[in-house]
Structure 1
Amino acid sequence: MDAPLTCATCHNGVTTSYATAPMRHAMEAQGANPTLNAHPDLSVQMGGYTYRIQTKDGQSTYTVSDGSDTLSLPIHWTFGQHAQTWVLEKDGHFYESLVSYFPAAQGLALTPGDQKITPHNVTEAMGRQLPIWETRTCFNCHGSGVIAGEKLKPAKVTPGLDCERCHAGAQQHMADAAQNNFKTLPKSLNRLDSEQISDFCGQCHRTWDTVMHNKWRGPAFVRFQPYRLENSKCFIGNDPRISCLACHNPHQPVNHNVAYYDAKCLACHAETKTASSHPAAKTCSVAKSNCTSCHMPKVELPSGHAQFTDHDIRVVRAGEPYPE
């Protein structure tokens, strides 16, 4: 009997590298969380409440106590591969855990964006109640199988992003290919211009319009890369040399080597002219290497336990305030 057709049948190289990519692990399955398995007993005291995450035999429990009342809930859904936040369920409602795990701290700290929350009881201290739309967005951006127009069923969501999540039509393409019919192909993302790519990735990583509409301000939102990239003076929307895909291959783990990105920068900021129809960019008078270390600085989240590369590409001057 022939093996069932999968994306790996024809695209083995891509699927093999994608197996370790962050998006593939944007959500961890219960019992398969290496971070919590490696840290079976985490705790932190914060704002008069004690938080504790305990893991045993693949099962994790989230507990918050004020000394008098205690609330414990099982962790079914983990969002994030390294830094992790948990979505909890209580009485039919979903909550974003008020504390998260941060690798830099090797422990728990306040979840980004929740600085203004002042809990008055263990339920409020447990987490921020999520509206239906936000709960759906969380599962849709971190998992696969959320069907438009249908009620969200978290138990049926597949952890992590599968091929179909970005390449709409992949399932039909495989079904047709099994019949030796290659006429149906998923839409090629390579044909999108820079602004369209930014909007596509921004469905989860947040677009410029989304951030402006919600009036999000401050360093906490540096993690929304498409919004920050579009703030860059050099982003014009139709130059393929400056887009999410120009620097990052979503099928591979993120390259953290600063020197790797020099060629990306010099594709525009080179002393020699290129064949591009776009105007020549200025060259840097300081250096021709490690460009991002100066022009895309690391910004620390208000919690102090995580840093993000600011994708607002610019000349950074010492002492200047965080640019909105």
Structure 2
Amino acid sequence: MMTFLEFEKPIAELEGKIRELRSFSHGRDFDIGSEVGQLEGKLGRLLKDTYANLTPWQKMQVARHPERPHFKDIVAHLTEDFTPLAGDRTFGEDEAVIGGLARFRGEACVIIGHEKGSDTESRIRHNFGMARPEGYRKAIRLMDMADRFGLPVITLVDTSGAYPGVGAEERGQAEAIARSTDKCLSLGVPLVTTIVGEGGSGGAVAIAAANTVLMFEHAIYSVISPEGCASILWRTNEKAKDAATALKITAQDLLTLGVIDKIVAEPLGGAHRDRERAMNMLGDAIEESLKSMAGMDGERLRRVRREKFLAMGAKGIN
């Protein structure tokens, strides 16, 4: 059964009534089609109204929904012949970041992304998508390989941030993030990024300094989580909702600010309600972005990418 979010309580109640009606009529000799049809129409309108007016805090809840498509789901649906490549050749393997070779709609590519996991066991194994330095060094290794063989790079961002543990800091977390960001900016091949769920802090930017940055309609992208921001500024998580609004974390805000390039629409009620359709829409957007860069040489790709990021935040500065 689908997991409903706090603000979806009226939707859950209506869907429950529809299920009850169908269950009650099963095997009985009477037709309730018209009643169910009316309730389904009401449900559709309620979903549309609710999701058209989500607050930043509510969008954050949708972005973190456990049933949204994750990296493994998207790779399995959109690519063929995916061959994962493990390890950073320095310390070890980090399963919070997965990457490898694949064919996306018939074309060879390198695909890299965060994997949060789908159940308790896999979430622990993937460290909830929070990468350690070896995860970013693995991403650098794979981007180097893509550059060497002239393969476009696709990255999928879904992390609350890089892992802040002592071991990660001892192994150079900040340096690994900086080098991974620099590698993105210096690539001589097309780089397309999508924020598919949560894009948090440098842990997201490290694989997201791309020619084209796409973002799912109800995803979030921020320099710090709303809870982290509230704990720093107000010393309490009770202000997290205010922080979510102030941080401008939504796709709509970020498109206006020029931080992202395009919003990828989600099915009504969020990507978790129709995962296959959401992933198909994402695939179309990635394909369109890659086609727009066809024929561009490495120097131009690097120049356009760097100019784009250097221009961010400069508007209005003397």
After TM superposition, the score normalised by the length of structure 2 is: 0.26
Which one has the largest radius of gyration?
1
After TM superposition, the score normalised by the length of structure 1 is: 0.25
Q: Which has the higher helix share?
A: 2
